[in-house]
């Protein structure tokens, strides 16, 4: 990484992923090389529309040269209705190399900034209403790396996204509340007394995770009963290890039940496509993607991993070039 004056000298544009609760920003040169990276814990949930410009300047101001105007490309919740300014959802099917067509420019005071907020995607088919905002840019990153990509992508997380891509366009997508459901159950339900932190490198945890994936695949409707079963298993003398090992084992089981329910549902929705579309491209952090890869493998599906941060940066780059081409 470079000194401030060196960054300002070489800066070509700024990439920003601005979500509900934080932002990440990158300074890039004309060849797309990352000169600097920074972040902040102020996101949509804690900012009024008037506060965005000042926060952006606070975070990236040091990178900007004294004169001249620099492009800033922003994806995520900053473009939501409750964000800086709304960049309306583009309905699917949408080509991911053309997110720029839905970009909007917020009002600005500082003459050094030229900001574009990228749009999210929506799906309005009856019975399949869905939205994403931020993940489309990670998917665009996949297309930036593999133009015309066709296949299935999954972005695990709080609200896990599954997308079908055809020739570089999202044709359909589905969001599962999986990560949020896990966290609520593990931290705020009666199960919080039983659930610890798991480690899938531990053979006992791994076995508990995979057994749960298989069980819920075979009988998805029994999910709520199996949830309480975790509590009962902890209260009764059921041959589990004690202490932290028990909490870890039960956490692995809860994770397997919850991710397994998502995979069973996507299996229902996708049918043969899940098997036929080639490996699922998992986009996100390595540990969570590894967990999904294990579960998919247990169900007979292959996958590959694309780093989430690399993906969003590549997607913002694609949009940046798209916006430049529109000038």
Residue ranges in contact with a copy of itself by CB under 8 A:
89, 122-124, 128-131, 159, 174-178, 180-181, 184-185, 188-191, 219-225, 227-229, 231-233, 235-236, 238, 258, 261-262, 264-269
Closest distance between a copy of itself and the C-beta of residue 265, in Å? Answer: 4
Q: Which is nearer to a copy of itself, 1 or 219 (CB)?
A: 219
Q: How far, CA to CA in Å, does 135 sit from each of 18, 123, 174, 261, 312?
A: 12, 14, 12, 22, 8
Q: Which is nearer to a copy of itself, 13 or 162 (CB)?
A: 162
Closest distance between a copy of itself and the C-beta of residue 167, in Å? Answer: 25
Q: Which is nearer to a copy of itself, 7 or 170 (CB)?
A: 170
User: Do 289 and 282 meet the contact criterion of CB atoms below 8 Å apart?
Assistant: yes
The count of other CB atoms within 10 Å of the CB of residue 129 is 10
Q: Which is nearer to a copy of itself, 73 or 133 (CB)?
A: 133
Q: Which is nearer to a copy of itself, 5 or 183 (CB)?
A: 183
For the chain, report the end-to-end CA distance as a whole number of angstroms: 31
Q: Which CB contacts under 8 angstroms, 24+ apart, belong to 300-309?
A: 300/275, 301/274, 301/275, 302/278, 303/154, 303/279, 304/279, 304/280, 305/281, 306/141, 306/142, 306/145, 306/281, 306/282, 307/283, 308/138, 308/155, 308/283, 308/284, 309/24
Closest distance between a copy of itself and the C-beta of residue 211, in Å? Answer: 10
Q: Which is nearer to a copy of itself, 104 or 240 (CB)?
A: 240
User: Do 130 and 123 meet the contact criterion of CB atoms below 8 Å apart?
Assistant: yes
Structure tokens at 254: 């809860």
Closest distance between a copy of itself and the C-beta of residue 100, in Å? Answer: 23
Closest distance between a copy of itself and the C-beta of residue 271, in Å? Answer: 12
Closest distance between a copy of itself and the C-beta of residue 300, in Å? Answer: 16
């Amino acid at each position: 990484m470079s000194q401030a004056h060196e960054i300002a000298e070489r800066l070509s544009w700024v990439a920003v992923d601005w979500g509900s609760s934080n932002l990440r920003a990158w300074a890039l040169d004309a060849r797309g090389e990352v000169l600097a990276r920074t972040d902040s814990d102020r996101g949509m949930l804690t900012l009024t529309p008037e506060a965005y410009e000042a926060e952006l300047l606070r975070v990236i101001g040091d990178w900007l040269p004294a004169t001249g105007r620099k492009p800033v490309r922003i994806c995520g919740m900053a473009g939501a209705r409750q964000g800086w300014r709304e960049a309306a959802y583009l309905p699917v099917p949408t080509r991911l190399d053309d997110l720029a067509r839905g970009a909007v420019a917020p009002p600005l005071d500082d003459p050094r900034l030229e900001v574009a907020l990228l749009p999210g995607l929506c799906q309005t088919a009856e019975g399949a209403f869905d939205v994403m905002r931020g993940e489309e840019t990670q998917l665009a990153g996949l297309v930036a790396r593999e133009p015309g990509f066709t296949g299935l992508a999954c972005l695990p997380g709080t609200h896990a996204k599954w997308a079908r891509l055809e020739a570089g366009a999202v044709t359909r997508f589905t969001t599962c509340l999986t990560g949020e459901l896990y966290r609520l159950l593990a931290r705020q339900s009666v199960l919080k007394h039983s659930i610890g932190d798991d480690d899938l490198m531990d053979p006992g945890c791994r076995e508990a995770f995979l057994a749960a994936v298989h069980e819920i695949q075979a009988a998805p409707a029994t999910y709520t009963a199996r949830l309480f079963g975790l509590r009962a298993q902890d209260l009764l003398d059921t041959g589990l290890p004690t202490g932290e090992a028990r909490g870890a084992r039960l956490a692995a089981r809860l994770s397997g039940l919850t991710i397994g329910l998502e995979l069973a549902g996507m299996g229902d929705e996708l049918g043969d496509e899940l098997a036929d579309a080639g490996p699922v491209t998992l986009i996100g952090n390595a540990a969570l993607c590894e967990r999904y890869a294990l579960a998919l493998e247990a169900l007979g599906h292959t996958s590959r991993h694309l780093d989430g941060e690399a993906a969003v940066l590549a997607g913002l780059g694609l949009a940046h070039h798209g916006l430049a081409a529109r000038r």
